[in-house]
Chain A
C-alpha cells in the first residue's frame, strides 16, 4: 500500500490560511497526489490532485515539493465549513485509493 504521513490534527482561526502537510517519501513517478476531505457522517469529497506542478482550483491549492516526497494542501481562507478530516492519498498505478488516518482540521471562530 502506498503510504502517506499526516499530522493527526491541526487548528486554524477562521478566515486565516491553513497549510496541511503530507509526506509521501515512497511515491513513484506515476503516482498522482490526491486530497480528499470528509465531513462528519458524509462520504469523502474530492478536493484537488496533482502530479508534479502546483495546482489551484476553487477549493484549494496544492503545492508539491520538487522531489515529490511531500506536498501541502493550502486553504486560503478557512471557514467553519472547512472543518473536516483531510486525507492525502497516492493514487497507485492500479488506481486504488489508499487512505491513511488523515488530519482532523478544527476551525476556530
Chain B
C-alpha cells in the first residue's frame, strides 16, 4: 500500500463550474476525513466517514459541497458552482477508529477557481 492517494493533484476551473476530487485511503482504514487548507492557515475540518457512513459535517461545508464514500472504500468530494473563495488545498486523510491511532494524509488537491 502506498498510502493515501488523491487525484487530481491540481485543478484549475472557471467560476461556476463543478469539480470532483477523489481520495483513495489506506485499504484497511475505516475512517476517512476531508480538510480544506488556505495559505498560511492550518487544515480546516470539512467532514468524515466511518466506512460508508458520513458521521459529521462541518458548518464550513455549504450546500454546494457534497461528499460520498460508496462501499466504504474511496471517497469523492464534489463542489458545485465553484466560487473564487473555494480556491484552496483539499486534503484527505484516513485512519483506524480510536483516539490513539494516527491519521495518514494525502498530498492534497490544489484547486484554483478563476
Contacts and interface: CB of A to CB of B under 8 A. Distances in A.
A88 to B, nearest CB: 10
A102 B56 contact: no
Contact of B33 (A92, A96, A100): A96
Contacts of B33: 96-97
Given A99-B44, A101-B42, A102-B42, A91 B99 contact: yes
Contacts of A91: 99
B103 A93 contact: no
Interface size class of B (residues with CB under 8 A): 20 to 34
Nearest to A92: B99
A54 interface: no
B102 A87 contact: no
Interface of A: 30-32, 34, 36, 42-46, 49, 51, 85, 87, 91-102
21 contacts: A30-B99, A31-B99, A32-B99, A36-B105, A42-B108, A43-B107, A44-B91, A44-B105, A45-B105, A46-B102, A46-B103, A46-B104, A49-B100, A87-B42, A92-B99, A94-B56, A96-B45, A97-B93, A99-B35, A99-B43, A101-B41
